[in-house]
Structure 1
Amino acid sequence: MKTNIYVLCGGKSVEHDISLRSASAIMNAIDREKYNVYPIYITNEGVWCNLGLLEEKINAPDELRRTTSSTVSFSIGEFLTKVLNNSEKNLVIPALHGPNGEDGTIQGFLELLDIPYLGNEVLSSAVAMDKVMTKDLFSKYNIPQVKYLSFRLHSWQENEEDAYNLVENEIGYPCYVKPSNGGSSVGISRAENREELKSSFKEAFLYDRKIIIEKEIVAREMQISVIGNNHPKASVPGEFIMERPFFDYNAKYIDGKLIPVIPARLEPGVSDKVRETAVKAFKILNCHGLARVDIFVTDENEIFVNEVNTMPGFTAVSMTPVLWGATDGTTYAELIERLIQLALERYNEKKVIVNTR
């Protein structure tokens, strides 16, 4: 009997469109001889839409979009009663990026349903999604990272000048202002003076109630994919040729001007240290399945962990699959199968946990 794979895509997130790209590539690569594939499109309002058994490959991500007058609760109930077949083998791939998908919310829902799912669990997803929580945790384990401050919306509203003064005294210019929860560079700004700092605060607070301010360092950013459960392994590092101070949303997904360099231009010893640090960060966050760890490397070969992405972009040209192709020759389809098996392995391990006395 084939296993049913339900691929969740879209979502109530500013990274909605990126999710559709990742989901399209994933579904096209899944082995149809082994699996039945069911796309579940989630609208910007959070309503679930069942697209039925996928018979053909997806030509364009927009083919997954649907409009509906249903409600969130009714649509989820319909999925549970009319779509999900509990008498068969099932697995969920939450191909969702950002809040309401990558932050532990959907993972908690799937845990309650007792369904195996690809990727990280509740805690690792939630902590890694929150940049401040991640950095606070890394500080405990002496993971190298740039100097940072964080602010909550209410404290900034109560005394803006104190916030700006603290940033100038503790961080200085230039600095980066980011929503604590988010991805794909949405809401991130670079500030070189007080006026830019003010506008950056306002921009970041549009996307979250907590923000983080980081000191700028002169460095190249490496991206490392880590895959595994109990014995995670790191890919070779990759990097992008920088054409601007930082890559915003347009640079990453619209302009099409990113030029990847894989393997990254690093001395062998530095490359090894970067990979070891990526695995350490993965373990500290209790990750499972996959994650992409972004690490800065200076001209003096100092390293600083930037962030951990627990559901990185997954198109055929995204860093994660490309990195593994360069590391050990793993194809995109083989990588998807490997992640599916890791999800089942983790699920079966948890099934032996005793829940009664």
Structure 2
Amino acid sequence: MSHKIRVGLIYGGRSGEHEVSLQTALAVVKAFDFAKYEVHPYYITKSGEWRQGPQLTGPVESAELLTFEQERGLGAAAALQPIFAAGSVVQGEAGSAAAPLDVVFPLLHGTFGEDGTIQGLLEMAGIAYVGAGVLASAAGMDKVIMKKIFAQEGLPQCAFRHFTRAQWEKDHVFFLMETEIAIGYPCFVKPANLGSSVGVSKARNRDELIAAIETAFRFDRKVIVEEFVEARELEVAVLGNDDPKASVVGEIVSSNEFYDYKAKYVDGKSSMIIPAELPGETADHLRELAVRAFLAIDGAGLSRVDFFMRKSDGQIFINEINTMPGFTPFSMYPLLWSESGKPYRELLDDLIGLALERHASRQKLQYTFDLG
């Protein structure tokens, strides 16, 4: 394109990962090449209000400057009208229409951002966007559906059980007994639809299991209970569309008993080892499994795939795929690519290019059928 690429950033959101999204947005804004991109920010408050900020002409110094507290909060329909009306436009001076956006970068983590909802909205509007599509986003967000897809692909996993709030309330004794027989203690209890380890607990007995389940139900209507494995935590970054590539393998050494929200974002004591100390064939196998997982859910753009390697025998289990991983310069995903020879700014360029490539491919599809 001869003009600057016009990028809409959407961040914040009505999610337990709101603050993580703000930090990701700050990092992306600081890294953008403003000689190449025209950046238009859209902030979503914790209550779901949308705030359209002025065009950004350079980096900002703090996440607070991206929340536009002086701007009046709008409903989604009103806030999005300048994007979607008249062929997806950005707002010009005095409310006039400006040039159309080229691509949207949804820097949203968790509910209403990483689960296919914003992706579906952008698909209906016919706008290119960075990252996975509706199906991959929804499947990657729902740990139960994700694990069923991985099972169909033949990817090795830890044992798990799942149930809804309605099922739990109807017969909690049955689900307790089934979990104890099939999974045992200790075990991990998680909301099925959330990331950043929000609402995750480790249970060592029945009382802790009940408390962990009640905690998880605060964040989702569906809970998953997983087998505990004494293991190393390994991660691989994947980049691409139909022909994805995998990064080097990284390892997380948690400051807490497990890699929970505090260990990830609060105490700053967890460490990352990049690349992980592994035999070459083991690293290659992990990279192959990561690409298989990415393709299994029909991923696009970017994903981070997390694994366990059991300490007793080296057995590898896939844990999950994250279709919109943390994206600050200190997050695992960009660090893995930096170690693989792709710096942060170049990674942004690639992701926007992949989004435009995927959108152009989809525009070739026929959506109507003439019976005449």
Which TM-score band (shorter chain)? Answer: over 0.9
Give secondary structure in 2 for the equivalent of 1:237. Answer: strand
Alpha carbons 2:90, 2:101 under 8 Å: kept: no
Query: C-alpha separation between the residues in 2 aligned to 1:238 and 1:153?
Result: 36
* Letter of the structure 1 residue corresponding to residue 327 of structure 2: F
Q: Paired residue for 1:311, among 318, 324, 328?
A: 324
Distance 2:218 2:281 in 1: 42
Among residues 273, 295, 299, which one is paired with 2:285 in the alignment? 273
4+ aligned runs moved over 4 Å, structure 1: 84-87
Q: Quick check: 1:50–1:79 contact (8 Å CA) kept in 2?
A: no
CA distance in 2, matches of 1:108, 1:72: 14
Q: Does 2:105 align with 1:101?
A: no
- Look up the match of 2:333: 320
Alignment of 1:170-185 (within 5 A): 170-185=182-197
Once the two structures are superposed, the pairs formed by residues 53-202 of structure 1 within 5 Å of their partners are 53-67=55-69, 68-77=72-81, 79-81=83-85, 83=90, 87-202=99-214
CA contact (8 A) 2:15 2:110 kept: yes
Encode CA deviations 1:28-86: one digit per residue, 9 max, x unaligned.
21211111001110111222111111123111112212444533333333554573567
Q: Mark the runs of 5 or more structure 1 residues left unpaired by the alignment.
A: none
* 1:72-120 deviation per Cα after TM superposition (whole angstroms, max 9, x unaligned): 3333335545735674352100000001000000000001111110011
Q: Which residue of 2 aligns with 1:293?
A: 305
In structure 2, the residue matched to 1:230 is: 242
Instruction: Give the Cα–Cα distance (whole angstroms) in 1 for the partners of residues 240 and 318 of structure 2.
Output: 20
Give the TM-score normalised by structure 2: 0.93
CA distance in structure 2 between the partners assigned to 1:71 and 1:296 by the alignment:
42
What is the CA deviation profile of residues 120-165 of structure 1, one whole-angstrom value per residue up to 9, with x for unaligned ones?
1000000110000000111112110000000100010112222111
Distance in 1 (CA, whole Å) between partners of 2:35 and 2:80 is 28
Instruction: Provide the C-alpha distance between the structure 1 equivalents of 2:73 and 2:304, rounded to a whole number of angstroms.
Output: 37
Matches of 1:320 and 1:253, distance apart in 2 = 15
Which amino acid counterpart does residue 226 of structure 1 have in structure 2? Answer: V
Q: Residues 298-345 of structure 1, C-alpha deviation per residue, up to 9 Å, x if partnerless?
A: 232211000000000000111111101111x21100100011111111
Change (3 A) 1:86 1:276: farther
Distance of 2:60 and 2:199 partners within structure 1: 30
The amino acid of 1:92's aligned partner reads V
The secondary structure found in structure 2 opposite 1:172 is coil
2:36 paired with 1:34:
yes
- CA deviation vs aligned residue, 1:245-273 (integer Å, no higher than 9, x gap): 21111111010112110001211111111
Tell me what 2:94 maps to: none
- Equivalent residues of 2:308, 2:317 under 8 A apart: yes
| Partner Cα distance (1:109, 1:177) in 2 | 31
Does the 8 Å CA contact 2:90/2:100 hold for their aligned counterparts?
no
Local SS of the residue matching 2:342: coil
* Distance in 2 between residues matched to 1:123 and 1:86, nearest whole Å: 32
> How far apart, in 1, do the equivalents of 2:145 and 2:101 lie?
36
Contact 2:51 2:67 in 1 (8 A): no
Q: Retained in 2: the 8 A contact 1:48–1:79? A: no
Q: 1:79 to 1:355 in 2, by over 3 A?
A: closer
Task: Identify which range, 234-243 or 18-27, moves more after superposition.
Answer: 234-243
Aligned residues: 356
* SS of 1:70 mapped into structure 2: coil
